Structure 1
Amino acid sequence: MDSLLPQDIVDLARRVVEENMAAGRKVSLAESCTGGLVAAALTEISGSSSVLDRGFVTYSNEAKQAELGVASDIIETFGAVSVACVYAMAKGALERSDSDVAVAISGIAGPDGGTEQKPVGTVVFARARRDSDEPEAELKRFDEHSRAGVRHQATLCALELLLP
């Protein structure tokens, strides 16, 4: 068996590893709704140890606070699925690693947990770079409402953010 992951994810992960290796960049991850899928995709690729520094799976709000230093008032005010939270997650991952770039993901994969303001399929991404103080974050709403489908799309988007 070659991989348990879908081919489009493996192909993009290969590109991420190859391009970051060529650029001499290390990456880190702070994953919530993807539960480590992005890290798993990268580690499918031979040579990924020269690119992937570490991954944090911070599924609970408590883990986001303890492992990544996300302030409780950010979660209380904006929620875990918010630009403010994922940017704090990405910054925390960058500060706690030897990486050049960190990507964070938090979302509502479903089938439950959605609200009118944040329906199932809402996923927020952030990227923090050591060479920039400017936040980069984006909220996406995926039409795919199966849990697997949302996590698949979120993994692809996170991998794209790791390209140099």
Structure 2
Amino acid sequence: MQNLCYALKHDSPIGPLWSYWTKRGLYRLQWADTAQPEWIVDETLGSASAKSAADKLDVALIAFFAGHAEDFAWVRIDSLGWTPFADKVYRKCREIKPGSTMTYKQLAQRAGNERASRAVGSAMARNRVPIVIPCHRVVSSSGGLSGFSAPGGLETKRLLLELESD
């Protein structure tokens, strides 16, 4: 279990969205039906920088859900536990601009292994910081929507893409 030092609830049209922070950065961004964080957060481990980053993310998420393009590249992420390949995939995924999409194969190519489309799909399914790592911008080879593990599944993916296209 991570040493979580701060948690903040953000409002979204999909439901409550919780950000969980460590001293290294954003550890998880998760939709949850609960009014309380599901993880134990020890704020004595916290730092002013985690709270400041969470507050800044809150402002950016409000703008994002209001339809203002945001790439969230400034958010520092705690990548502890990621494989080297997943780390590459997530870094390349963060380069996809708001309003744009990329196929799993294209993302695999950018991550250095053009035959790893399925591995990219697995990495996207395990993405613990959706929106900040914009897995909703990754589409099937036909350009259609496929695979999205957040509540609402493909409808949520469609909504996130529509927010960015306006």
Compute the TM-score of the two structures, normalised by the length of structure 1: 0.29
Query: Which has more strand, going by share of residues?
Result: 1
Compute the TM-score of the two structures, normalised by the length of structure 2: 0.29
Query: Which has more helix, going by share of residues?
Result: 1
Larger relative contact order (CA 8 Å, sep ≥ 6): 1
